[in-house]
Amino acid sequence: MNRLTRIHRTIVLGACALGLAAGVGVVARTADPRVAHATPFAPGSTDISDAAERVVDSVVNISTTQATTTGPFASDPFWNDPGSPFFGDGDPRKAQSLGSGVIVTSDGRVLTNAHVVNNAATIKVTLRDGVELDARLVGSDPRSDVAVLQLVPAQGSKLPALKPITIGDSSKLRLGEVVLAVGNPFGVGQAVTMGIVSAVGRASVGIEDYEDFIQTDAAINPGNSGGALVDLRGHLVGINTAILSRTGGYQGIGFAIPTDMAKPIMDMLVKDGRVSRGYLGVGLAALDQQARAQLGIKAKTGVVVASVGADTPASKAGLVAGDVVTAIDGQSVREVGKLRNLVAVRGAGKVSKLDIVRGTATRTIEVTLGELPDQRVRTRVRRP
């Protein structure tokens, strides 16, 4: 089985299925009078219970409806082709999905996954105490799977008191560090699971166009999409987004978008409604034994510049094919995906310093990044 066929969105089971989502949605929206709210958190505490209680009120349930066409002709191209005179003649219905989100500001900004709210006609957010609010989409970036919502108070009223989570520094995560995943698995209600950081910087998994995942063995299941990955200080370090599974359920490998990637994307979506990514204009290749032998490269680590586009930021800065990029702005790079992400997140117009090896010589080149041209998002296998 191809690796991509084993990638399941955490939203797949119990979230996108029409009947199941509708069935469990009532449970997720039912307030439980026995729910305990967060207790005062001792600064510097690393107790698991303290961390869990500090963040649970910041994690919400997200339910959406999408207009869909179902029925006996749903797969017929005459009904699905917008150019067909029969387009839209099927039975219009509402599909429902469930996911999670994280409150990041006191005025109601919520961070979640783009795929949780993709094509949503309506968005409802349920707080931990059962209060349900409408939400509007501020912006969505499918290429990184990040979306931002804004909670909307009922007409003539104000938002209830909200508890925003503290956004942490995901770059300081260490292998083996204990983390908690908080979300709404299978739509049955909020749950907290525990695990460790299995890996960081997973940039070539093949789920998104731009990846820099935290890998964890904390149990992440369908419905956890958009939920929080937190450290033992109760700080948000990632947004849970996907699992690697043969069955669609938890099998020990989950992925979260690190806050160091999600936060700048969120800020751009809030400010401009879109994401402007940096652009270098090169083709990149892994620095493996074959590349070293063919190109006579002496560098031990880095990323090979396989080609340089004409009239691009890279060509103007003097990069040439065969250069090996070892660092950008002092941050070392070992993988193609990592360098691609670092360039993208810096944004257009940023002046960056590239440490390169050319033959046996090392040098630093300054490059003014351009803006990545719009490109169609790759279509990937979402289900087995």
Reported as half-sphere exposure (CB side, CA atoms, 13 A), residue 115 has a value of: 26
CB 18 within 8 A of CB 97: no
Between CA 229 and CA 242 the distance in angstroms is 12
CB neighbourhood size of 67 (10 A): 12
Indicate if 225 belongs to the active site.
yes
Specify the DSSP element, H or E, that contains 343: helix 336-346
From the list 8, 57, 63, 115, the catalytic residue is 115
Nearest residue to 132 via CA among 193, 64, 222? 64
Indicate if 115 belongs to the active site.
yes
In the DSSP assignment, the letter for residue 42 is -
**Bridge partner residues of 181 (DSSP):** 193, 229
Nearest residue to 15 via CA among 259, 249, 239? 249
Between CA 190 and CA 213 the distance in angstroms is 23
Mind giving me the DSSP string for 285-296? Answer: EE--HHHHHHHT
Q: Between the CA of residue 326 and those of 202, 237, 300, 344, 347, what are the distances in Å? A: 18, 26, 9, 17, 20
Phi, psi of 182 (to 5 degrees): -125, 130
From the list 97, 225, 245, 352, the catalytic residue is 225
Contacts of residue 157, Cβ cutoff 8 Å, sequence gap at least 6: none
SS3 content of the chain, % helix, strand, coil (to 5): 20, 35, 45
| Total residue count of the chain as it appears in this document | 384
From the list 145, 209, 231, 323, the catalytic residue is 145
Catalytic residues: 115, 145, 225
